Amino acid sequence: MTINCLVIDDEPFAVNLLEEYIGQVPYLHLQHKCYNAIEALSYLKTARPDLIFLDINMPHLSGMQLVALLPPDQPFIFTTAYSEFAVDSYEKNAVDYLLKPITFERFLLAVNKVVKLNPATPAAATTTGGQKLFLKTGKAIVQLEYNDVLLVEGLKDYVVFHTSETKHVVYKRMKDLEETLPAQFSRVHLSYIINRHHIRRIEDNHVHIGIERIPISEKYREAFHARISKGLL
């Protein structure tokens, strides 16, 4: 399922940036863009987007005022250059609050919250064939399929995504990453998260993936074997 997005912002640069970000996410689609809230009201009389990116500080009718006119179940994400609106935005039941300048990584975090509200989207499905993730590594953004990831290795404030062909270093903590990965991934050690789809063998409290032999620490051993036992013949 595709999430159809409406962007409402009186700054053309902000609209263009969100359009670019939306275009980089496979399950997002830019349905329409409006440059003020009045124009958006007219559009919304005949259209119902799945998600609205809404600027707060706009002339004539602000984003806060526009929200009061939307259906109560309409998902929206506020975008603004003013941090003082943060508390008010959550009182309006915003899915998230993006402070300009908006980074792609922060954009993805906000979108992921919407995905969790809509289990029909590809990124929220329990099966993982074809699912993709975006990694910010250095100055580049790299797209991988979850199934291509063999394991993730933790190195202090960084993690390393191992595939059969290469490695990608990302500035992120293991604990934060563990909470966002699909169910096919298991934490087996303070320094390792493995993709169970690529396990070749489990022996002597080690799991073999590709050419790697990963230790299964006592802290994670019981939970890991419990998962494995569900598919044991």
DSSP-assigned letters across all residues of 10-46: S-HHHHHHHHHHHHTSTTEEEEEEESSHHHHHHHHTT
pLDDT for the residue 122? 46
Q: Which two tokens stand for residue 77?
A: 């994400």
Please, which pLDDT band fits residue 91 given cuts at 50, 70 and 90? low
**92 vs 139: CA distance, rounded Å:** 35
Average pLDDT over residues 55-63: 92
pLDDT for the residue 229? 75
Domain 132-229 listed as CATH 3.90.600.10: no
Residue 101's CB is within 10 A of a number of other CB atoms, namely: 10
Percentage with pLDDT > 70 across the chain: 88
222 close to 213: Cβ distance less than 8 angstroms: no
Residue 206's contacts (CB-CB under 8 Å, 6 or more residues apart) are 213, 214, 215, 216
pLDDT for the residue 216? 95
Average pLDDT over residues 156-166: 90
Residues of the chain with CATH 3.40.50.2300: 3-124
Residues of the chain with CATH 2.40.50.1020: 132-229
Q: Whose CA is closest to 3, among 18, 35, 20, 25?
A: 25
**163 vs 147: CA distance, rounded Å:** 9
pLDDT for the residue 125? 38
pTM listed for this prediction: 0.55
pLDDT for the residue 230? 67
Please, which pLDDT band fits residue 124 given cuts at 50, 70 and 90? very low
CATH of domain 3-124: 3.40.50.2300
Average pLDDT over residues 170-197: 88
Question: Which one has a higher pLDDT value, 65 or 83?
Answer: 65
Asked if pLDDT for residue 90 goes beyond 70, the answer is no
